[in-house]
């Protein structure tokens, strides 16, 4: 007969591993909720822009009305194109968030084609013009390797400078990194044409935040030119709040992607499970005899499986089949907006 004290240790370890699994699954589920909230904000903003952005009313202004109703010479077809551009910017925010969470820099990805406006496609994620001749260089490299890569190729590719999975937010440049040296193009011996851009001082600004800024500027222009008179300040503030919600959700997903479970925690867990499985047959052999072999095999399979699943779902934004299907979510959103 199997004693009770032989079963209690098994159950205690199972409970401990389930807590570890729950910790990783919370990260997985939180990532799914954040991307779902981002999708909802994009849908709401797209709907409101498409419906509420309209030409200023042509009715005569009442005598008691304060201020002056804005007038615009934009035609209906021109306004339609501007609204389509705003919708593409909001859709680009979802794709940019996907690539940013995966540590994929640049805008030279296939899913950006046809979505980013033509004027934005001339720049990379830091605002540098990537469509220049070999005789013109952007002041971007502060390291000799980066400088050499930038000299040999005028257009950045997605495969270059892919950051580590846990270090996706690049640190801002300090004055020490821009000190005189052979890696600084402006202070070197060679002379070349250097392009300066406004985003150069904020090279750490991620692409989703750049798109959010541009989308905010588009809404501000709509409001200034009188295209949001039908909804008034309250409607405009609601749209701005949706953009703020997008940034909040991207920040929440960034927190998950950039804050992995400590390595020491995972190593200690694996060591404890291994030692426990080695000691388990010695505690059960007197009570179970030969039945110890299949029982320990099942227990080891269960424990290793729980620990492996928890490790797989720790980073939900990757490209594995077990990760969140961000590509599918973005494609569905694109079909809805189009």
Statement: residue 162 has pLDDT above 70: no
Statement: residue 220 has pLDDT above 90: yes
Statement: residue 128 has pLDDT above 60: no
Statement: residue 138 has pLDDT above 50: no
Question: Can you tell me the distance from the alpha carbon of 100 to that of 336, in angstroms, rounded to the nearest whole number?
Answer: 23
Q: What is the model's pLDDT at position 40? A: 95
In the chain, the percentage of residues whose pLDDT exceeds 90 is 25
pTM over 0.75: no
Statement: residue 126 has pLDDT above 90: no
Q: Write the DSSP assignment of 65-85 as a string of letters.
A: --S--------HHHHHHHHHH
Q: What is the model's pLDDT at position 251? A: 94
Q: Which of 48, 58, 111 is nearest to 83 (CA)?
A: 48
CB atoms within 10 A of CB 209: 19
Q: What is the pLDDT of residues 59-85, one digit of tens each?
A: 655 555 555 555 567 788 888 999 999
**CA distances (Å), origin 83, targets 47, 80, 114, 240, 330:** 11, 5, 15, 16, 20
Q: Which of 336, 231, 309 is nearest to 17 (CA)?
A: 309
């Amino acid at each position: 007969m199997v004693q009770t004290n032989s079963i209690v240790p098994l159950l205690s370890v199972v409970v401990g591993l389930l807590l570890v699994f729950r910790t990783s699954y919370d990260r997985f589920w939180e990532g799914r909720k954040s991307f779902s909230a981002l999708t909802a904000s994009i849908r709401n903003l797209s709907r409101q822009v498409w419906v509420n952005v309209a030409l200023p009313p042509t009715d005569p202004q009442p005598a008691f009305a304060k201020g002056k109703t804005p007038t615009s010479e934009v035609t209906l077809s021109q306004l339609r194109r501007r609204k389509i551009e705003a919708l593409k910017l909001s859709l680009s925010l979802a794709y940019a968030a996907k690539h940013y969470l995966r540590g994929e820099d640049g805008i030279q990805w296939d899913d950006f084609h046809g979505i980013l406006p033509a004027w934005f496609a001339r720049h990379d994620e830091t605002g540098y013009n990537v469509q220049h001749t070999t005789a013109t260089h952007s002041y971007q490299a502060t390291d000799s390797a980066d400088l050499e890569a930038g000299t040999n190729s005028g257009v950045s590719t997605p495969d270059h400078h892919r950051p580590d999975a846990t270090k996706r937010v690049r640190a801002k440049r300090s004055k020490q990194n821009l000190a005189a040296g052979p890696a600084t193009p402006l202070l070197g011996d060679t002379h070349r044409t250097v392009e300066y851009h406004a985003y150069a001082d904020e090279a750490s600004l991620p692409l989703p935040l750049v798109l959010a800024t541009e989308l905010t500027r588009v809404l501000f222009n709509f409001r200034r030119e009188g295209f949001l008179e039908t909804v008034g300040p309250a409607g405009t503030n609601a749209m701005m709040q949706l953009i703020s919600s997008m940034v909040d959700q991207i920040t929440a997903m960034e927190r998950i992607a950039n804050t992995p479970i400590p390595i020491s925690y995972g190593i200690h867990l694996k060591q404890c499970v291994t030692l426990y499985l080695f000691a388990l047959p010695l505690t059960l052999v007197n009570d179970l005899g030969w039945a110890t072999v299949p029982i320990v095999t099942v227990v080891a399979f269960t424990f290793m499986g729980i620990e492996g699943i928890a490790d797989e779902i720790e980073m939900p934004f990757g490209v594995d089949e077990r990760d969140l299907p961000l590509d599918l979510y973005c494609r569905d959103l694109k079909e809805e907006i189009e």
